[in-house]
Amino acid sequence: MQETLIEWPIFVRAVIPFTAAHLFLMVLIYFTLVRRYIGEAYIYLAIFLGSFALFLCGPLVNVLPFTELKPWYSLFRNLLLFSIGIPTLVNGLFILAQRKLPLALSLLPYAIGLGWSIFFALTSFRYAALGLPALQGMNITDAWAGQIATIALILIAPCIYLLTTKPSKKVAMYIYGVLSFCTFMIIGNASRAWEVYYAGSSLTAIIWGWVVVKDIQRTSRKAEQHHQHEKALAKAQFATASKQAFSEFYPAELDVKYPFKEREELIEVVKTASHGLVEQYAKTLTIALQQYTNDNLATFKLRTRELMFMLYDVTIFASGESQPLIRRLESVGQEIEQCQDLEQIQENVIGECLYLVSVIAAQPTRSTDSNDLVDSIKSFVLNNYYKEFSNHDIAKAIGTSQSHMMKVFKQVTGTTINQFLVEIRIEKAKQRLLSQNVTDTALDVGFNNSTYFATVFKKHTGLSPKQYQKLAKQQG
């Protein structure tokens, strides 16, 4: 019996690149699943991953009995990768690194890549079937030399520049993966060792895959760093009367989704002491709550008490005067219970918002550098909690050193920046879980994996996300 074996050169030049193509397609699928988390850079990375996967299929096509197809596929894959894929990757890396390129510079890689692709097509090489006119005195060796120069111009130079900007670890690893690819491509071209050229691309796939794994592990480690807090429980305890169950937060029939957006806008108005906007935003929210609760007075009271807790919580945080405000909050809760109609409750809400705004506005401007720094950190986290960022990114954005920033935040707040970030994400997640599924919620609040989001959520609340949703929707 004769045994058929795959020869080593074919394995290295065809099977390994084809395997790498699968790895890059797996990364593309993962990026597609978490595209909201990646943001604007997703489409750029997806275009590169797709074009690179097709490029890596070229050596396999070369060993197959498709004589007429080979020259055209060679031309197609090189044109696609160098004219579209790689230039798009460069722009994607700049977006990941949050570095805006002028339009002319963003288009330059495409022009250079297209120029090499045209040179490659017009240069004489072994696929004479193309029938394209050769450049006088030029051959395929010149095309490969031009490819090295193209790689240096549109890949290596931008990557080196981005590394000098001290990007986040994740972005840096993507850049190192690209530089690894460039290194093997140049070595393979210069030495005509195509085994190195194609096999080396597998390392890039491994590096990028490792970045994904580290993302998941980092999320898990963050979960272990944070203690369980009971802020939401306190909201529920205040918002419901002693004989009412948590499920009574929710009307039997929901015609309109809960107005999270309007609530967050009113909280922001109070927090920023925007006196002139109070009445407008308070009325907008109470009208939305009225629709949400189907004009049920009891449920409307519950939601209003919950809102008051949040507004007072923001004011206590801003003013530092907890006891007087807590006593007033208790009184406000009783007043709401005594209201006889929705309009009376609306007037109560507007009045309390105006009072809280006056409390915050009356606070002396904190002149200490420490408090100003903490405020800047909190502002950055609140505005970017749904994105991926490191302490280095925060320090860079607010103009201070990372070590000083972390030390001051811990001294002033008694907690770490990472703990504060996770607390914010969990609070935002609780809001979204009432109207979204677990996966979308995880992505919206900054987690790139729903499994690890569930781990973090349960550690902080004692419930899995699905248990939390079930408890919220059950009948009282």
Are 143 and 276 in the same domain? no
pLDDT: which is higher, 108 or 2: 108
Taking the C-alpha atoms of residue 425 and residue 130, their distance in angstroms, rounded to an integer, is 57
Domain-embedded: residue 201: yes
Residue 459, CA distances (Å) to 26, 139, 374 in order? 30, 64, 26
308, 262, 255, 312: which is closest to 287 by C-alpha? 262
Q: How confident is the model at residue 237 (pLDDT cuts 50, 70, 90)?
A: very low
Which tokens sit at 239? 């918002």
What is the 8-class DSSP label of residue 152? I
Domain-embedded: residue 456: no
pLDDT: which is higher, 433 or 59: 433
Q: How confident is the model at residue 110 (pLDDT cuts 50, 70, 90)?
A: very high
Q: How confident is the model at residue 153 (pLDDT cuts 50, 70, 90)?
A: very high
The pLDDT of residue 437 is above 80: yes
Whether 471 contacts 434, CB under 8 Å:
no
pLDDT at position 171: 84
Taking the C-alpha atoms of residue 371 and residue 367, their distance in angstroms, rounded to an integer, is 7
Are 270 and 206 in the same domain? no
Are 203 and 291 in the same domain? no
Whether 199 contacts 10, CB under 8 Å:
no
Q: What's the residue count for the chain? A: 476
271, 267, 291, 292: which is closest to 281 by C-alpha? 267
Are 24 and 133 in the same domain? yes
Are 170 and 49 in the same domain? yes
Domain-embedded: residue 403: no
State the residue range of the domain holding 178: 8-219
Are 165 and 277 in the same domain? no
Report how many domains make up the chain: 2
Share of the chain above pLDDT 90, in %: 10
CA angle 63/69/75 to nearest 5° reads: 95
Residue 334's φ and ψ, nearest 5 degrees, are -70, -40
pTM score of the predicted model: 0.48
Whether 253 contacts 307, CB under 8 Å:
no
Taking the C-alpha atoms of residue 251 and residue 271, their distance in angstroms, rounded to an integer, is 29
Domain-embedded: residue 285: yes
Domain-embedded: residue 2: no
Residue 131's φ and ψ, nearest 5 degrees, are 70, 20
Cβ atoms < 10 Å from Cβ of 179 = 17
Residue 253's φ and ψ, nearest 5 degrees, are -125, 130
The pLDDT of residue 290 is above 70: yes
Burial environment of residue 218 by CB neighbours within 10 A (0 to 12, 13 to 18, 19 or more): middle
Tell me the one-letter amino acid at 151: I
Measured in whole angstroms, the distance separating CA 354 from the mean position of its chain's CA atoms is 36
Domain-embedded: residue 410: no
**Which are the contacts of 385, defined by CB distance < 8 A and separation ≥ 6?**
421, 424, 425, 428, 445, 446
Are 186 and 331 in the same domain? no
- Per residue in 164-191, pLDDT (tens digit) is 988 878 788 889 988 988 888 888 888 7
Domain-embedded: residue 58: yes
Pick the last residue of a domain from 158, 191, 219. 219
101, 23, 36: which is closest to 447 by C-alpha? 36
- Per residue in 3-50, pLDDT (tens digit) is 555 665 666 566 767 777 777 788 888 778 767 656 677 888 889 989
Give a three-class secondary structure readout of 9-29: HHHHHHHHHHHHHHHHHHHHH
- What CATH number has the domain bearing residue 132? 1.20.1070
Domain-embedded: residue 213: yes
CA angle 454/456/460 to nearest 5° reads: 115
pLDDT at position 321: 65
Which tokens sit at 330? 């208790």
pLDDT at position 31: 75
Taking the C-alpha atoms of residue 208 and residue 196, their distance in angstroms, rounded to an integer, is 19
